A and B are shown apart, each in its own frame.
Chain A
Amino acid sequence: MIESFDTSLVDWSRGQFALTAMFHWLFVPLTLGLSFIVAFMETIYVRTGDLEWKRITRFWMKVFGINFAIGVSTGIILEFEFGTNWSNYSWFVGDIFGAPLAIEGIMAFFMESTFIAIMFFGWNKVSKRFHLTATWLTAVGANLSAVWILVANAWMQDPVGTRFNPEMARNEMTSFWDVFLSETAVNKFMHTITSSFLLASVFVIAISAWFLLRNRHVLFAKRSTVIASVFGVIAAIATIFTGDTSARIIAREQPMKFAAMEALYEGQTHAPLVAIGAMRTDTTMVPNPREEFIFKIEIPNALSYMVFLTPSGFVSGINDLVYGNEEQGILPYQERIDRGAVAINTLKEMKRAKDRGDEAQFTAMKAKFEDPQWLEEYYKYFGYGYYKDQPVESLIPNVKLNFYAFHIMVILGGHFLILSIVALVLSMKNRWGDKKWLLWVALLTLPLPWIASQAGWVVAEVGRQPWVVYELMPTVAAVTKISPGAVQLTFWIFLVTFMALFIAEIKILTAQIKKGPEEK
Chain B
Amino acid sequence: MLKRIFLFYYNGFRTMTWGRSLWAIILIKLFIMFVILKVFFFPDILKRDFSSDEERGDHVLEQLTNPLNND
A residues touching B (Cβ–Cβ < 8 Å)? 1, 4-5, 62, 65-66, 69-70, 72-74, 76-77, 80-81, 83-84, 87-88, 90-92, 117, 120-122, 125, 166-170, 341, 344-345, 347-348, 351, 385-386, 388-389, 477, 480-482, 486, 489-490, 493, 497, 501, 504, 508, 512
Residues of A within 8 A of B23 (CB): 69
Per the bound structure, the CA–CA distance linking A121 and B4 in Å amounts to 13
CB distance from B7 to the nearest CB of A (A): 10
Contact of A91 with B67 in the complex, beta carbons under 8 Å: no
CB distance from A153 to the nearest CB of B (A): 21
Q: What is the predominant secondary structure among interface residues of chain A facing chain B?
A: helix
Find A84's partner among B44, B57, B66, B69 (CB 8 Å cutoff). B44
Contacts A344-B68, A345-B71, A490-B42 given; does A70 touch B47 at CB 8 Å: no
Per the bound structure, the CA–CA distance linking A5 and B64 in Å amounts to 11
Residues of B within 8 A of A497 (CB): 32
Contact of B41 with A490 in the complex, beta carbons under 8 Å: yes
Contact of A388 with B68 in the complex, beta carbons under 8 Å: yes
B45 in contact (CB, < 8 A): yes
Sample (19) of A-B pairs whose CB atoms are under 8 Å apart = A1-B69, A70-B25, A80-B42, A81-B42, A84-B44, A87-B46, A88-B64, A91-B57, A121-B11, A122-B8, A167-B57, A168-B54, A345-B71, A351-B62, A480-B45, A481-B63, A490-B42, A508-B18, A508-B22
Q: Of all chain B residues, which has the CB nearest A167?
A: B57
Residues of A within 8 A of B13 (CB): 121
A-B pairs, top 3 by smallest CB distance, nearest first, are A121-B12, A83-B44, A4-B67
Contact of B57 with A170 in the complex, beta carbons under 8 Å: yes
Contact digits for B46-66, partner A, Cβ 8 Å, 1 yes 0 no? 110000011011101111111
Residues of A within 8 A of B9 (CB): 117, 121
Contacts A80-B37, A83-B46, A486-B41 given; does A70 touch B65 at CB 8 Å: no
Find B22's partner among A66, A121, A125 (CB 8 Å cutoff). A66
Per the bound structure, the CA–CA distance linking A122 and B58 in Å amounts to 53
Interface centre among B30, B32, B44, B68 (most CB of A within 10 A): B68
Contact of B70 with A1 in the complex, beta carbons under 8 Å: yes
Contact of B47 with A83 in the complex, beta carbons under 8 Å: yes
Residues of A within 8 A of B25 (CB): 69-70, 501, 504
Contact of A482 with B45 in the complex, beta carbons under 8 Å: yes
CB distance from A352 to the nearest CB of B (A): 9
Per the bound structure, the CA–CA distance linking A69 and B25 in Å amounts to 8
Contact of A489 with B22 in the complex, beta carbons under 8 Å: no
